[in-house]
Amino acid sequence: MTQSIDTGTSLSAALFGAARAWLAADPDPATRAELAELLEAAQDGDAVAYGYLEDRFDGRLQFGTAGLRGELGAGPNRMNRVTVLRAAAGLAAFLTAQHGPGQVVAIGYDARHNSRRFAEDTAEVMLGAGHRPYLMPRELPTPMLAFSVLRLAAMAGVMVTASHNPARDNGYKVYLGDGSQITTPNDSLIAAHIDAVGPLAEVPRGAVEDAETVPESVIEAYVARSAALVAESRHRDLRFVYTAMHGVGFELFRRVLTNAGFPEPISVPEQQDPDPDFPTVAFPNPEEPGALDLAFALATGHDADVIIANDPDADRMALAVPDPAAPGGWRRLSGDDVGMLLGHYLATAGRRGTFATSIVSSEGLAAIAAEAKVGYARTLTGFKWISKVPDLAFGYEEAIGYCVDPGHVNDKDGITAALVTAEFAAALKAEGRTLLDALAAMDRVTGNLVTTQLSIRTGDPEQVHNPVQIQTMMRTLRKEPPGTLGGVAVTQVGDLSAAGRALPPEQGLRLALDGGWIAVRPSGTEPKLKCYIELGDRAAADRAPVVARIAAVRADLEEWFGQFA
């Protein structure tokens, strides 16, 4: 029997009124139909429909340093054309207030549901505000947008993507003229302009046909510039399997690698073409269990040297390498492993400048930078901060993001990172060595540092997360932390910080361990807590005892969080 509710309260009247007002303004027939059906059922007393309706109108997606990201659907608490049109109008007003009309704005989009429509809506609003939008000619990776902002001397850029989020999500990333994502205070200034946008019908819009198209020459310039990164090396003998994870990376990845002289990638056919439903994976993130199973099987059949994976918008890269000791014969390298391998490779090859990483990434890069006598910086979490480091030469974060060419792509770039990794792996192969050999050699520099992660999901991933549960876990961890984890003493608990800047209370905690540390923070994009763990032992002959120790720490930490289940 369907549960019913009393729809005669003032709260219900306000909710129904907000839904009807949204219906009147929404230009999208699909979300109008969805909302009309939900509204009718809720008005008839259906409690489930009322709950869904309330969730869509209980607040709205907040614009911040990550732009916008959320589930697709009708209402202010969802990603939809109304939300995007208002965000575009606010960004346009910000650009006019800061720089005057006539500003170039580069606009890209991936293959997710509604991505192209959101990009076209943004172009129309920019035209209506007197700016000059340049639309990508087709679905392309996020790094191509970041490159285009600099190449076109744009004052801003917009990328419509939800990166590696589930299929039901989409997002709206904003870049400014330096080719990097927005940070404070610009996020607050743009948000204020969004809040000031009046009725949608009064927002002027041009015709998308009048928007300019990002020229193919810009894409060709990216391909050519990428090849220049590996021009000094002649080693190209490498057999690699590649997966685009149902995203938009394959076309550009193939062009970049073959233009640089590498063989055609052995592509996972089931995941090669863009598909917004991501049918072969539970989560389209190469880090998630099971996401690389098809790649593992294909690589085994082709006796591949390495597996390279991009996430759906190809700004991240994951690696796996043959390892007889690993289950299935393949070992997936962590983001820290890859970041330190690339950092060590570039530093020893003569790359100068500052090598940077985030406060939740390995401290091994500091040792690498010290040995190479190059600069080092540690920033707040996210590439929006790493990209702001002066004289940046290389940057990485543990979430499989790497910047190997900051002068041309001032953001993480899974395509050029894959290219430099392929060059490194081919050079090692010519010497009869592997990436695992390089990792073992690097351990002598970093002190056998080992990192791992633990994700604590806070409920059904199909539902909105419970912020109260997250706050309770963080508060308890701060006030009543475990004394030991896996036999390792917890010596201190404090806030995450970098360069003297503390994060807000309960937004991030750092536990000092005997020989390492743990960082715990809420995810900015998913309903979960993320735990980052690092241990090291310079006295050990290799990683083996550290690997065993960190596994015990992780198991005990997971058990500690289990009390909140």
Report, as residue numbers or ranges, the catalytic residues.
163
Q: Are 232 and 298 in contact (CB under 8 A)?
A: no
* 3-state secondary structure labels for all residues of 153-184: CCCEEEEECCCCCCCCEEEEEEEECCCCECCC
Residue 36 and residue 33: Cα distance in Å, rounded?
5
End-to-end C-alpha distance for the chain, whole angstroms: 30
Contacts of residue 224, defined as CB under 8 A and 6 or more positions apart, other chains included, come to: 259
Residue 253 and residue 419: Cα distance in Å, rounded?
8
Residue 257 and residue 223: Cα distance in Å, rounded?
9
Report helix, strand or coil for 355: strand
**DSSP H helices in 175-317:** 186-195, 216-228, 250-259, 293-301
Q: Are 338 and 402 in contact (CB under 8 A)?
A: yes
Contacts of residue 504, defined as CB under 8 A and 6 or more positions apart, other chains included, come to: none
Tokens 């003998």 sit on residue: 237
Amino acid residing at 434: T
Contacts of residue 29, defined as CB under 8 A and 6 or more positions apart, other chains included, come to: none
Q: State the Cα angle at 494 between 491 and 498, rounded to 5°.
A: 120
Residue 244 and residue 316: Cα distance in Å, rounded?
11
Cβ-count burial 302-325 (b if 16+ within 10 Å, e if not): eebbbbbbbbbbbbbbbbbbbbee
Q: Are 550 and 533 in contact (CB under 8 A)?
A: yes
Q: Following DSSP, what letter does each residue of 60-103 receive, concatenated?
A: -PPPBTTBEEEEBSSSTTSBSHHHHHHHHHHHHHHHHHHH-S--
Report helix, strand or coil for 318: strand
Starting at the edge strand that comes first in sequence, how are the strands of the sheet with 317-322 ordered?
Answer: 266-267, 240-243, 306-310, 317-322, 330-332
